[in-house]
Amino acid sequence: VVYPDGTEAGLDFTLRLRFELDLYANIRPIRLFEGVTSPLAGVKAGDIDYVILRENSEGLYAARGAGALLRGQVAVDTLVQTRAGIERIVRKAFELARQSNGAPRDGVRRVTCCDKANVLRSYAFFRLVFDEVAKEYPDIETEHALVDAMAMHLVLKPGHFNVIVSENMFGDILSDLAAATVGGMGMAPSAEVGDKNGFFQAAHGSAPDIAGKGIAIPYGTILSAAAMLDWLGRGHGDERLLRAAKQIRSVTETCLAGGLLSADLKGKSSTAEITGNVCDRLAA
């Protein structure tokens, strides 16, 4: 459903949640599970396991509803980045790296700053603030990558990455590319969190063109539920929620490795069959 100007109507709900609840960190894990075939030649389970951290409240998407179309001849949207906004998303990236096991290829905990600092001042500013914050985390390796090069790196050397942090739009685009390397958008969970609120959903959004056909991959949504329980458990110090999140991930791994795959994953299982098996195993 679109407005007369061609923009999607449904985005207003999601963007309002992000801005009004200050869900500034969009965490998108990218992991290749046992049983899932990557389109990348020679890549196996365990070779891809990183996080794309997308700044969720500023950047180019903050211009939603505020751009201008002048006399049908000139269109303008503004890319906005603030020091406070960059600092908090970069700190989140370093904290995630500290909690991780490092990059699959070498076990190094590293944060990669993805930008277009060689062209635009707003991205040069993002990189400047990144480098300032990085000094507070001497135990974490840092590096920079231009977004066009990053699109290539995610295909050619995905095992090198641990945590990637970027501006809003770049994070959106790269996370879709990354999801394709681990089985598609149906395998992509996401957590949109702030200091007080959290919102959890599969990264792909809705797919009305396949509604009711029983071919959608439910794993992205299931893993998003695990991320929600994990976030709540950490925030409230509740071990029950942390155990539940761990159990959901464990069952997901078992189902994927056991061949419960939809057509998109080169399997024959329906959405209901996969979901039913996951629920049964959790209840056992």
Per domain, the residue ranges of the chain are 1-199, 206-284
Counting residues of the chain whose pLDDT is more than 70, the rounded percentage is 97
For the whole model, what pTM was predicted?
0.92
User: 113-122 burial, b for 16+ CB within 10 Å, e for fewer?
Assistant: bbbbbeeeeb
What are the backbone dihedrals phi and psi of residue 259, each rounded to the nearest 5 degrees, phi first? 95, 10
The predicted structure's pLDDT at residue 212 = 86
Chain-centroid distance of CA 196 in Å reads 19
Chain-centroid distance of CA 91 in Å reads 17
pLDDT at 206 over 90: no
d(CA 65, CA 11): 11
Pairing of strands 163-166, 49-55: parallel
- 47 Cβ contact list (under 8 Å, min separation 6): 32, 38, 104, 105, 158, 159
The predicted structure's pLDDT at residue 225 = 97
Confidence of residue 9 (pLDDT cuts 50, 70, 90): low
Confidence of residue 203 (pLDDT cuts 50, 70, 90): confident
Q: In this predicted structure, which of 65-74, 94-103, 246-255 has the lowest mean pLDDT? A: 65-74
Indicate the SS3 state at residue 169. Answer: helix
Please report how many Cα atoms fall inside a 13 Å half-sphere around the Cα of residue 65, on the Cβ side. Answer: 9
* CATH code at 1-199: 3.40.718.10
Q: Any idea which residues carry the catalytic annotation? A: 61, 116, 148, 172, 176
